[in-house]
């Protein structure tokens, strides 16, 4: 069976995902696209040589009889309405992070999915498909580190645009770590604090950068994450898990080592497209295979919700400077 896919939002990642589904993955075909910027949608169809219809809006695309599954890759604030639309139409939906920009929005999605009676939503937390993080998860689950005690992490981007403001360090950037550590440690958060070091002169007025987010999990693991989105030198994701019996460090992306001109060096990647290219392949292949098999797995709406709850508290902690409690509601049996 070929899964016929409609893409809502043909910006940077929408085009990337459409390209990989068309040129690299198997079992999926892009048959429909839409974007508020119609010219952009048409340009992507042309660039990728798609045989896809360009729809006027997302809801019309969702309703189209020949669309089996939907990819939501539009701006974050629009995700909730399209995911709800897909659930109402009984169609599987892959939604880029964030699932919704608030925990309340995610809750609406959970309620709708439970009402629909089967899992339809996969959230684009691609780090769960990254081979380095998977090795770390295997080591932790296999007891190689003993109990995990601490995590030291960093999420660095070379630069961000003017529209990127302080809370986005949480909703847009830290949201990846908020999901990753719940999954990696099989744990949930119970408190958060955010502190601000001296600001870099490379950050514009509306963003406090860098930030250090400190989280405590229910099992007592302490996590510190440096979020530094104008670090200039590259796209750099670091993670050390410190356990009772040793430390596991996230592998660096594979690259050639040079001995040249008096220096020993490796390339540092510059963006998320390169850094998580293989992880995106694996996550989208899993989605396509899941739709074909009638069984959506991977990061769920509950995971999107849990990350959003922690994210909302981190934003509160950015404002208060205090240690803020994170309260997770009980996970419904529907989400295993
Ligand atoms: N997983 C990752 O690492 C990763 C990486 C990049 C982006 N993202 C997420 O993907 C989403 C898109 O990011 P991007 O970098 O591609 O942004 P982008 O601005 O390049 O593209 C977003 C597109 O959505 C379109 N759009 C906005 N509102 C719309 C609507 N109501 N209906 C249809 N189209 C609409 C815009 O015109 C634009 O073309 C964001 O939620 C972002 O957080 C995830
Ligand atoms: O949308 C992007 C994307 O999610 C990247 O993975 C992250 O590093 C950026 O901070 C964010 O702006």
Which of 203, 272, 277 to mutate to test ligand 2, by most ligand atoms within 8 A of the CB atom? Answer: 272
Per the listing, tokens 């909703």 go with: 171
Domain of 291, CATH number, reads 3.40.50.720
Smallest CA separation from ligand 2 atom 10, residue: 173
Interval 174-200 mean pLDDT? 98
Tell me: the pLDDT tens digits for 275-302?
999 999 999 999 999 999 999 999 999 9
- 102 lies in the same domain as 221: no
Same domain, yes or no, for 140 and 266? yes
- Do 106 and 214 fall within a single domain? no
d(CA 310, CA 188): 9
C-alpha span between 324 and 233 (Å, rounded): 32
Ligand 2, atom 1, lies closest to the CA of 172
Q: What percent of the chain has pLDDT over 70?
A: 100
Closest listed ligand to the CA of 128 = 1
Residue 44 confidence (pLDDT): 98
pLDDT of residue 1: 86
* Res 114: pLDDT: 98
Considering the domain architecture, whether residues 165 and 237 belong to the same structural domain is answered as yes
| Shared domain check, 122 and 141 | no
E-only strand ranges, 85-200: 92-96, 121-124, 148-156, 189-195
Ligand nearest to the CA of 168: 2
Residues 241 and 206 in one domain: yes
Tell whether ligand 1 has an atom less than 6 A from the beta carbon of residue 38.
no
CA dihedral 56, 61, 62, 67 (to 10 degrees): 180
Question: Across all residues in the chain, what is the average pLDDT?
Answer: 97
Residues 313 and 198 in one domain: yes
Residues 207 and 330 in one domain: yes
Instruction: Compute the distance from residue 101 Cα to the ligand 1 centre, in Å.
Output: 13
- Ligand 2 atom 5: the closest Cα is on which residue? 272
CATH number assigned to the domain comprising residue 134:
3.30.360.10
Domains in the chain: how many in total? 2
What is the number of the ligand 1 atom nearest to the C-alpha of 41?
39
The CA 211 to ligand 1 mean position distance, Å, reads 24
Same domain, 182 and 321: yes
Of ligand 2's listed atoms, the one at least distance from the Cα of 237 is 8
In this structure, the answer to whether residues 181 and 202 fall within a common structural domain is yes
- Asked whether residue 137 carries a pLDDT value surpassing 90, the answer given is yes
Together in a domain, 241 and 142: yes
What local confidence, expressed as pLDDT, does residue 336 receive?
Answer: 87
CB 72, CB 45: distance < 8 Å: no
Strands annotated E in 49-185: 53-55, 69-72, 92-96, 121-124, 148-156
pLDDT in tens, 37-72: 999 999 999 999 999 999 999 999 999 999 999 999
pLDDT in tens, 229-263: 999 999 999 999 999 999 999 999 999 999 999 99
Q: Which domain holds residue 223?
A: 130-270+307-335
Residues 214, 288 share a domain: no
């Amino acid at each position: 069976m070929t899964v016929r896919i409609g893409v809502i939002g043909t910006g940077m990642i929408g085009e990337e995902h459409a390209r990989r589904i068309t040129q690299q993955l198997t079992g999926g075909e892009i048959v429909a696209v839409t974007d508020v910027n119609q010219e952009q949608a048409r340009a992507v169809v042309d660039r990728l040589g798609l045989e896809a219809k360009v729809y006027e809006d997302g809801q019309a695309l969702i309703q189209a009889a020949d669309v089996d599954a939907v990819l939501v890759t539009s701006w974050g604030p629009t995700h909730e309405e399209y995911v709800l639309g897909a659930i109402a139409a009984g169609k599987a939906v892959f939604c880029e992070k964030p699932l919704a920009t608030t925990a309340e929005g995610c809750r609406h999605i959970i309620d709708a999915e439970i009402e629909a009676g089967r899992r339809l939503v996969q959230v684009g937390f691609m780090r769960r498909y990254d081979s380095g993080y998977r090795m770390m998860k295997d080591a932790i689950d296999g007891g190689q580190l003993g109990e995990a005690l601490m995590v030291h992490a960093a999420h660095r981007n070379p630069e961000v645009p003017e529209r990127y403001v302080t809370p986005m360090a949480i909703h847009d950037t830290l949201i990846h770590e908020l999901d990753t550590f719940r999954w990696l440690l099989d744990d949930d958060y119970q408190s958060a604090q955010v502190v601000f070091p001296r600001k870099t002169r490379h950050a514009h007025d509306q963003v406090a950068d860098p930030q250090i987010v400190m989280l405590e999990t229910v099992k007592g693991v302490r996590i510190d994450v440096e979020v530094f989105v104008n670090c200039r030198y590259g796209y750099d994701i670091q993670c050390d898990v410190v356990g009772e019996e040793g430390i596991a460090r996230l592998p660096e992306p594979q690259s050639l080592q040079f001995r040249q001109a008096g220096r020993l060096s490796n390339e540092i990647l510059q963006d998320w497209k390169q850094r998580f290219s293989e992880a995106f392949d694996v996550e989208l292949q899993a989605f396509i295979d899941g739709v074909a098999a009638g069984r959506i797995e991977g990061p769920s709406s509950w995971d999107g919700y849990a990350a959003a709850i922690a994210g909302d508290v981190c934003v509160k902690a950015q404002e208060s400077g205090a240690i803020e409690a994170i309260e997770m509601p009980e996970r419904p049996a529907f989400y295993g």
